Structure 1
Amino acid sequence: MRKSPEELRSARWFGPADLRSFGHRSRAMQMGLAPEEWRGKPIIGIVNTWSDINPCHTHLRARAEDVKRGILMAGGLPIELPAISVSESFQKPTTMMYRNFLAMETEELLRSHPIDGAVLLGGCDKSTPGLTMGAISMDIPCIFVPAGPMLRGHFQGKTLGSGSDSWKYWDELRAGTITEEDWAGVEAGIARSHGTCMTMGTASTMTAIAESVGLTLPGGSSIPAADSGHIRLCSESGRRIVEMVWEDLKPSKILTKQSFENAIAVAMAMGCSTNAIIHLIAMGRRAGLDVSLDDFENYSRRVPVIGNVRPTGSQYLMEDFFYAGGIRALMGNIREHLHLDCITVTGKTVAENIEGARVYNDDVIRTQDRAIYREGSLAVLKGNLSPDGCVIKPGAMDQKFLKHSGPALVFDDYPSMKKAVEDENLDITPDHVLVLRNAGPQGGPGMPEWGMLPMPKKLLKMGIRDMLRLSDARMSGTSYGACVLHVSPESYVGGPLALLRTGDIVTIDVDARRIDMEVSDEELAARRAAWVPPPKRFERGYGWMFSQHIQQAHIGADFDFLRTDFGAPVSEPVIY
């Protein structure tokens, strides 16, 4: 049943014949708007995370105009609302400090203004979960428009992928196998256009999740940022959001446990970023749904990696994935793992959205019997080192570390670890487990992407390129290697990782989903009694608020005061 104009949320601002609404109308006219432009029409907020210091989003200033064109074509009134950009490339200490900030800002922008529906423009890692978390909590019709991946990088006839090749060539420079001139060539050639990382990093993982959970138009997450199809996607999204307002098709009518299971299945098949876990759990909890590590573990055992895109894949990048058929084609190849009757922003089901999708390069998008990796992209481990769970990416590591025991070499902070690994006389062997702690949600602060701990220079000189590494940090989705991440609870709050000492034996068994330190319960109890909490990170401001209210990684690292359930009353602004 379609809404009537009188039922529009914006009508509360502009409709009443009183003094306050007189003020709203007169101020709209001050901006040059005539009553015919807002009267009886949906007002659509365009939440834009463009900024001058976010290279992934440099085109979103222009793309907002394309969205506006679509909104106007469909009979709506577009209103652009700028939001914090969370630039992965430049923001310190980590954009993860500001994901929840963006979620709060998005929710409050939509709540406090006369907005009937929203188009969310983002894509750089934390902007996708931040925007969608806020919109989910607000629960008005919304569409997410991904920024799109950048074009392939190039260097000396080779194809470069964001992040993945940065780490690769940096290690080769440290090992002495390439020159400073080569390194400068990589630097100049790795990022050739606007858009997000073109590997299967966190950006492409999260935009694919936004689509597979039902919040993006079909195929939208696969389109490269520089492709003219991206412009058309923006206009189409603008047209569709107006219809969604009339239909009252809001997140609570789209997002179910089954739609989140679809997103998890797609993430596993794509060779997703480890960050998918922390963000998708947070999104699910905003929707009042019990999305947990157990759901990821369930699908990890069932859905193989079929997206041959770096870093899990060996050769291809997101541009190739788009040409091969994109996300619709991949979903078609795992359709038996999907809930095909889930509704999406199109008003149609997943089955209808992927109907007719074809794979045009079956080396990029494989069939399940020719999978890149036999299980899903991620594995969840538990044990006395991480009773609430941690994560590893088995398909993107040296397979000999799937089962391994070795002595720990423990560092309490990143600077000391970084200095030590450059020492060619460091007492370390390939069997050691390199450990960093105090890098979790509170300890980092903000859980920085430090988890792909740098390989010790001594080992690089020996020709070794992987070893088991362990931390309560995250790592970039473009990273690779035998890195155990998100150890929960984190060491900063007294998790078991805080009790690990250099020389203790750490044992990992990915098939058994175990990670343990071989230390007796009695010894751990003694260490626990002697443990002293580290000093506070912040005394004021946003950092203080963050440290007081941030939750642990295994439940999404959202703020405790932002817990919500669909159906709870929304506190609308008082209009006098």
Structure 2
Amino acid sequence: MTTLRSSEWYGGDDRNAYLHRAWMRRGVPSSAFEGRPQIAIANTASDLTPCNAHLDEVAQSVKNGVYEAGGIPLDLPVMSLGETLVRPTAMLWRNLAAMSMEEMFRANPVDGLVLLGGCDKTIPALLMAAASVDLPAVVVPGGPMLNGTFRGSPLGCGTGVWKLSEEVRAGRLDQATFLRSESSMIRSRGHCNTMGTASTMAVMAEALGTTIPGLAGTPAADSRLLEAAHASGRLAVEQVAAGRTISQVVTRGSFTNAIVALAAVGGSTNAVVHLLAIAGRLGIELTLEDFDRIGADVPLLVNLQPAGAHLMEDLFRAGGLLAVLDQVADLLDDDPITVTGRPLASYLGTNPVWDEDVIAPRSRPLAPDAGIAVLHGNLARDGAVIKPAAASPELLVHRGRAVVFDSVEDFAARIDDPDLDVDATSVLVLRGCGPKGYPGMPEVANLPLPPKILAQGVRDMVRICDGRMSGTAYGTVVLHVAPEAAAGGTLALVRDGDEILLDVPARRLKLLVPEDELSSRRVPAATADGFAAPDRGWEKLYVDHVQQANTGADLDFLVGSSGAEVARESH
């Protein structure tokens, strides 16, 4: 029988063991400390993370499953990040959440983990932390909200905001009608119902093998989520008995499967920085180029907003992720196992598609090449990304003059100016929004278009930024430019009127300025003044140690697993 890690706290008759058992008793019988796996339920429920507010109910089902399997469930509230509320951006604290979770997992007498997440940064932070500690762990995604509708049409959470707000700015939708849509968008508990970052990371968790296969995308309001949570509690106990840690489940091949899944579902570009960070914690070599190499030729099969028409409830109804993976099984790595101990491949081959308008067959894909495209050139020496499935095809090869904004504040102050020197062929450039520059790499890359361009009926322009964009957003947006402007990137040297070439098929992003002229340019004072310069606290630690987007934007001293061992105490 596997020696339980928790026995280092509870086993024996010495004073320390006495203290640990005594403080944990409070009605708990002695048998709770006698060879029963202690399972921490890492719970990101919070009223200030509305997408995760229902996770206390999910946690109760997990507890029931743990008890049933002979384990002891322990609720462990962990740092929660609500994408829609925290300022300046939730990404600023992803690494802090992961670091704090890691330390709590390691410091406490737990043998296994059940990770409850939903909103964008919570599943990545939980997986980064679990990878660093390398305990047995299973993910239970909180699930998307039910479909919303407005004026008879599907209203996608997030995506609807971007579309409707642009119609208001274009003068084609009145403010009162726009505001009426507010209560229609959030119809139930759960995270965004588009293929935004939350839904994408649930899919990634399943493709990596860290959930019970078939779980990702189960709507938050569906009772089958609670059934799966119960089963996940049981599974956590079984994982401990088998000694099946996260590093045994998530291997190099698991990331191949995740990248294929990312392309097939038209997932969020945010998955790139999160998968790179998770791989870094496991010591697995994963590069930006792997996303292009593995995902470029994968067909887009899922017809979901923002790249398509439907919503997550429809994907679940149509067969879910397993039905999608059945269509691209030949592109997957057959070797990686899941948290059940069985290979992911063993769950494929028997998953029909129930609605081909939602999940297209391989023979009729929505797009033949849907993976994240990785761009290089003098404007992105270490790479930038674009999501072709969410872009306008006619803009994927484009040459235009730059209209430059030095900060989010600069953009907000000038974009609505009718005298702004911009036309539909211009390239909007926003800098100072990378990991160091903002700090935290906010979701601002999908810049609202100038009203005078919207009035012409134009709904997309090429936009370039060293920040991120919401997974619910769309458009011809080049983002994650590395190095960022604040880290010596060429983006800091772009001037109004400079010509920029975007050539997605050739994977090029080039500033058409002679190298000798570029070498003579200096970063403008207005640009440098916009870069973050914190002098204390987490922000200073973050800015001093955060890596660039092309390696996952983790902190340099957190890369690599350090295991579950903890120093012995002395009372």
TM range (shorter): over 0.9
Once the two structures are overlaid, the 10-residue window that deviates more, 523-532 or 497-506, is 523-532
1:12 aligns with 2:8: yes
Q: 2:520 aligns with which of 517, 526, 541?
A: 526
1:403 aligns with 2:385: no
Partner residue, 2:443: 449
Q: 2:535 aligns with which of 522, 526, 539?
A: 539
Amino acid at match of 2:23: R
1:562 aligns with 2:568: no
For residues 422 and 221 of structure 1, do their structure 2 counterparts lie closer, same or farther at Cα, with a shift above 3 Å needed? same
Q: 1:309 aligns with which of 297, 301, 304?
A: 304
SS at match of 2:149: strand
Deviation at 1:164, TM superposition (A): 0.9
Distance in 2 separating the partners of 1:569 and 1:477? 32
Amino acid at match of 1:209: M
1:144 aligns with 2:122: no
Amino acid at match of 1:232: E
Once the two structures are overlaid, the 10-residue window that deviates more, 34-43 or 479-488, is 34-43
Partner residue, 1:223: 218
Amino acid at match of 1:366: A
Amino acid at match of 1:177: R
1:281 aligns with 2:273: no
Question: What are the residue-to-residue correspondences of 1:417-436 with 2, within 5 Å?
Answer: 417-436=411-430
Distance in 2 separating the partners of 1:300 and 1:264? 6
- Runs of 5+ consecutive residues of structure 1 not aligned to the other structure: none
1:292 aligns with 2:287: yes
Distance in 2 separating the partners of 1:96 and 1:222? 23
1:551 aligns with 2:547: yes
Using structure 1 for the length normalisation, give the TM-score. Answer: 0.97
1:367 aligns with 2:361: yes
1:245 aligns with 2:240: yes
The C-alpha deviation readout for 1:262-284, integer Å capped at 9, x for no partner, is: 00110011101011111111111
Partner residue, 2:471: 477
Q: 1:321 aligns with which of 315, 320, 326?
A: 315
Question: What are the residue-to-residue correspondences of 1:451-466 with 2, within 5 Å?
Answer: 451-466=445-460
Distance in 2 separating the partners of 1:252 and 1:169? 44
- Whether the 8 Å contact between 1:321 and 1:365 is mirrored in structure 2 is yes
1:330 aligns with 2:324: yes
Distance in 2 separating the partners of 1:201 and 1:355? 27
Deviation at 1:159, TM superposition (A): 1.1
Please provide the CA RMSD for this pair. Answer: 1.3
Deviation at 1:424, TM superposition (A): 2.5
1:51 aligns with 2:46: yes
Distance in 1 separating the partners of 2:232 and 2:564? 26
Deviation at 1:533, TM superposition (A): 5.0
SS at match of 2:65: helix
For residues 529 and 454 of structure 1, do their structure 2 counterparts lie closer, same or farther at Cα, with a shift above 3 Å needed? closer
Distance in 2 separating the partners of 1:436 and 1:556? 21
Partner residue, 1:348: 342
Q: 1:505 aligns with which of 493, 496, 499?
A: 499
- Whether the 8 Å contact between 1:44 and 1:77 is mirrored in structure 2 is yes
Partner residue, 2:409: 415
SS at match of 2:285: coil
The C-alpha deviation readout for 1:435-475, integer Å capped at 9, x for no partner, is: 10000001111000000011111111111100000100100
- Whether the 8 Å contact between 2:296 and 2:372 is mirrored in structure 1 is no
Deviation at 1:570, TM superposition (A): 4.7
Partner residue, 1:42: 37
Distance in 1 separating the partners of 2:115 and 2:350? 27
Distance in 1 separating the partners of 2:443 and 2:158? 12
Distance in 2 separating the partners of 1:519 and 1:180? 43
- Whether the 8 Å contact between 1:268 and 1:299 is mirrored in structure 2 is no
Deviation at 1:353, TM superposition (A): 2.2
1:214 aligns with 2:209: yes
The C-alpha deviation readout for 1:407-445, integer Å capped at 9, x for no partner, is: 000010112212222122322100100010000001111
Distance in 1 separating the partners of 2:568 and 2:32? 24
Partner residue, 1:108: 103
Amino acid at match of 2:489: G
Distance in 2 separating the partners of 1:163 and 1:529? 35
Distance in 1 separating the partners of 2:417 and 2:99? 44
The C-alpha deviation readout for 1:509-556, integer Å capped at 9, x for no partner, is: 000000000011101110148889546521111111111111000000
For residues 536 and 154 of structure 1, do their structure 2 counterparts lie closer, same or farther at Cα, with a shift above 3 Å needed? closer
Deviation at 1:176, TM superposition (A): 1.2
Deviation at 1:299, TM superposition (A): 2.0
Distance in 1 separating the partners of 2:137 and 2:7? 18
Deviation at 1:52, TM superposition (A): 1.1
- Whether the 8 Å contact between 1:299 and 1:376 is mirrored in structure 2 is no
SS at match of 1:309: coil
- Whether the 8 Å contact between 1:493 and 1:533 is mirrored in structure 2 is no
Amino acid at match of 1:75: G
- Whether the 8 Å contact between 2:21 and 2:33 is mirrored in structure 1 is no
Partner residue, 2:381: 387
Amino acid at match of 1:459: I
Amino acid at match of 2:318: A
Deviation at 1:33, TM superposition (A): 1.2
Distance in 1 separating the partners of 2:251 and 2:431? 36
Percent identity over paired residues: 43
Deviation at 1:292, TM superposition (A): 0.9
Say how many residue pairs are matched: 568
Partner residue, 1:26: 22
Using structure 2 for the length normalisation, give the TM-score. Answer: 0.97
Distance in 1 separating the partners of 2:284 and 2:522? 35
